[in-house]
Structure 1
Amino acid sequence: MTKSDLFKVALLGVPFDDNSSFERGPALAPNVIRNVLSNGSLNGSTELGVDLRASERWLDVGDINVATSENFIVAIEQRCDQLLSNNTRLVTLGGDHSISYPVLKSYRKHFDQLTILHIDAHSDLYDSFKGNRYSNACPFARVMEDGLCERLVQVGIRTLNLHQEQQIAKFSVESLEMRHWPLSQPLVFEHPVYLSLDIDGIDPAFAPGVSHREPGGLTTREVINMIHQINMPLVGADVVEFNPNKDIDNMTSQLAAKLVKEIAGKMLLGAI
């Protein structure tokens, strides 16, 4: 058995939303999602047949304490470095979408080739937003500037403006807009995949608990199928921008917990 066969997958919380550009609240999400995962309403089995509760390779490593917004990049990157160096891959719970940048800075040290699958209503490619280059509207501009992936594929996009279109062209991003949905052919990847899943990529009919509700999005089933159909090892993921303050009857917390389960199960089935 090789070292890669022994990797673990850890749930890591980042209760941080200082870079939210509209409404605060996503910092509450990690605790809420954990509560759903453990409260008995869901069992431990995933649709792909992985029983997370019976797996010794699935663990919860708690939260990262981000003391100030000034040190959020260093704090997140260093904790991810510790875990990845210990052969532990991560399902990270945001928090706002700014956390993806430091997580991916760490991932790049451990994976020479990486594709990012980004599910979102927004491209998050602003060079700067409201004077903040680390806003939740900017993480993938920083990711692409730093060369943290070979390929960035964005699915669910439905709010592009001229600046974002220019950024897409500048960084050669594959932006698959919802106005062209469904895809003409399945996504095919050549490298290990990191999934960045903004809950507002899903239509607010299924996920009302977000700060930026944008109608016309993906269904829950479409997102789950997309996760299941990833043809290369899924080596990491973040689930971000769930805002419990905006939820209705716990709909979005249940959805986020379901997605965490399916992502973790898919990761545990992979090997590289």
Structure 2
Amino acid sequence: MTADNPLDKSRTAPAVRLIGLPTDSHSSFLRGAAAAPPLIRAALGSDHSNMAAESGVEIGVDIRIEDAGDLPLAEEPADDERICRAVAEAIAAGAVPLALGGDHSVSFPIVEAVAAAHGPVDILHFDAHPDLYDDFEGDPRSHASPFARIMEGGHARRLVQVGIRTLNRHCREQAERFGVEIVPMRGFAPERVPRLSGPVYISIDLDGFDPSVAPGVSHHEPGGLTVRDVLAVLDRLDAPVVGADIVEYNPDRDLNGVTAVLAAKLVREIAALVLRTRPS
């Protein structure tokens, strides 16, 4: 971003680096998530709101957001390498990578690169689905499989999944295999989410929210999280946040851009959380 952009005013503040990942090559059912990153950015910079998080942290003053733009992804195996390289470059520059998907398959190369820099991470994953399939419809890199690949690769010490409400037998077996801690929607309360020791990686699939507040997703699953539920869970985090992604926004299914606005709010709140949890 240019020096006069309000998202990037303070050159001395800690930085979160946005990395757009315009791909839905591993989506099932519907495509469309590849178009998401520019629309999330537009909502983030819109005059309809300001750049303060709920805690009072101001983006561009207390913490800055750098924008690395969208990677030139081409629906090929080399995409994973491109994603890993962009994440590694952000970390090497002292920034915390925050990826804008794209479908959830992108979480695997992101976490792989974050773990290469920080060691195995604790993952806090919000989703309607556990995304633990050994493969889905013959695709081991499906957006329904990233956390199986992450756990197989040893990139996570701990995986806590919040908002799950579609756990079938296969994914239950996979969760047991990998020691995944699932906090289902049935009986949900923020206090049921275990505390993490860090370093922490946050992955937010927007279909973890109830479709009444996030209609712009490919897989509507009623009975989901409220915005306040997710913010309450994030507010309880006190371990260092070293990376994050916001994925599965499908603009083709959005209503009045409300899901893009939600994604933009999450960018602000995660940036504020990065500042609050950074080691002193």
Q: TM-score range by the shorter chain?
A: over 0.9
Separation in 2, partners of 1:198, 1:261: 16
Aligned to 2:165: 158
Aligned to 2:122: 115
Please say if 1:216 is aligned against 2:229. no
The runs of 5 or more residues in structure 1 that have no matched partner are none
Aligned to 2:145: 138
Aligned to 2:48: 41
Separation in 2, partners of 1:224, 1:137: 24
Displacement after TM superposition at 1:67 (Å): 2.3
- Partner deviation per Cα, 1:193-240 (whole Å, 9 max, x = no partner): 110000000000100100000000000111112112212122211000
- Counterpart selection for 2:67 from 48, 60, 69: 60
Displacement after TM superposition at 1:127 (Å): 0.4
Query: What amino acid is the match of 2:116?
Result: K
- Counterpart selection for 2:234 from 208, 212, 227: 227
TM-score, normalising length: structure 2:
0.92
Query: What amino acid is the match of 1:119?
Result: F
Displacement after TM superposition at 1:21 (Å): 1.0
The runs of 5 or more residues in structure 2 that have no matched partner are 1-11
CA 1:186/1:141 → structure 2, altered by over 3 Å: closer, same or farther?
Answer: closer
Across the two proteins, how many residue pairs are aligned to each other? 268
- Partner deviation per Cα, 1:10-48 (whole Å, 9 max, x = no partner): 111111111111111111111001011112112011111
Query: What amino acid is the match of 2:151?
Result: M
When the two chains are superposed, the root-mean-square deviation of aligned CA atoms in Å is 1.5
Contact 2:238–2:277 (8 Å) recurs in 1: no
Query: What amino acid is the match of 1:85?
Result: A
* Equivalent residue runs for 1:1-272 within 5 Å: 7-55=14-62, 57-182=64-189, 185-272=192-279
Contact 1:178–1:217 (8 Å) recurs in 2: yes
TM-score, normalising length: structure 1:
0.94
Displacement after TM superposition at 1:253 (Å): 1.0
State the SS of the aligned residue for 1:11.
strand
Contact 2:13–2:62 (8 Å) recurs in 1: no
